[in-house]
Amino acid sequence: MEKNKIVRFGIVGCGVAGTRHALAISKTKNAKLLAVCSNLKKSAFELASKYLGTKAITFEKMIKSDLIDVICICSPNAFHAGQALQAITHGKNVIVEKPLAMQKNETSEILSLSKKNKVLVSEVLPRRYDKTWSGIYNLFLDKTLNDIRIVTLEQFYFRNDDYYKNSSWHGRKKLDGGIILTQGIHYIDLLYSLVSASLLPIQIKVKDIYIDSTGIQIKKTIGISDVVSSHFSVNKKIIGSINISTAAYPGSSARIFINCRQGSITVTNDIVTLWNIDKVPLPVQGTTGWNEKSVLPIIEDMTKALILKKPLQFDLQKAIDSLEFTLALNKTII
């Protein structure tokens, strides 16, 4: 990369996600955080004070500023699509925390406008960069593994009362969207990617996937289902189930099970715990998970893409295809 080329960032939303984006930017070569904004002005000033040369400004000033190249959108879920579209309209590249949008029509608008204005858009799904998942995905992509028959996802988490009380949006249906969009989306994205790779060259269309989902509410102080069960089938070739909860005290591991023609795989918390695959060695493992370093490869990818004038590592259309499957699962919940 050019030694003197700097990609300049702004952050919208200064909570947990915004703080992690700021840290990742500070650790990325050729990247600089210039501005932050938040409806909670105190949090914006506090975050800005931690990074030299960073100012707390308004969102309107941020999207109109000629000094900012990329805007990281770390606000509550319901604002992601609208803020992304505003930023893209003003020619900004954007990195959007998951989910990219909460409605299917919003995903189409983002894709269309980003192409029109020739900007890059990335959704924050850090597990795509994990060695564990990319290794398994590539084995399906190059047909070393094929014909997924069964796939299951289990996420039995626990969120206590403070998780909801200390948040302005978690557990609120219109702002949060539910546990499939907030907690489940990372692993649903991985599941959908593996199924898609398994079926190539056939392209999956979400409208052709049979989906049946249901949900119940354990915590009566929130406005969403906190236990969800979904079942789906693809082309009468693949059967899948997804079970997610944020009310399963004391909480457990996230687990994906895959059965394909060559055998069975179980991945628990991003580490392979079962590899019963004939004549195929276990790929290299390693995970970024969700921690202080998880956003780093996404910031680095955007920075390199802009400096070297090349595409992002992950195509926006594929992210949208996965999100539309996630939205379809969410739509059928009671």
How far are the Cα atoms of 18, 46, 139 from residue 43, in angstroms, in the given order?
10, 5, 44
* pLDDT (0 to 100) of residue 1: 45
Whether pLDDT at 2 is above 90: no
pLDDT 10s digits, 203-222:
999 989 999 999 999 998 89
Tell me how far apart the alpha carbons of residues 291 and 127 are, in angstroms, rounded to a whole number: 11
* pLDDT (0 to 100) of residue 166: 85
Mean pLDDT lowest for which of 241-245, 288-292, 295-299?
A: 288-292
Cis bond upstream, residue 99 (ω within 30): yes
Q: What's the whole-number mean pLDDT along residues 286-300?
A: 81
Whether pLDDT at 228 is above 80: yes
For residue 35, give the H/E element and its range.
Answer: strand 31-37
Would you call 191 helix, strand, or coil by DSSP?
helix
Q: Which residues of 299-310 are buried (b: 16+ CB within 10 A; e: fewer)?
A: bbbbbbbbbeee
Which tokens is 209 given? 């996937």
Whether pLDDT at 310 is above 80: yes
Q: Which residues contact 41 (CB under 8 A, 6 or more apart)?
A: 56
How far are the Cα atoms of 158, 167, 186, 224 from residue 248, in angstroms, in the given order?
5, 20, 19, 15
User: Beta-carbon neighbour count of residue 298 at 10 Å?
Assistant: 25
Would you call 151 helix, strand, or coil by DSSP?
strand
Which domains does the chain carry? 7-124+293-313 (3.40.50.720), 131-287 (3.30.360.10)
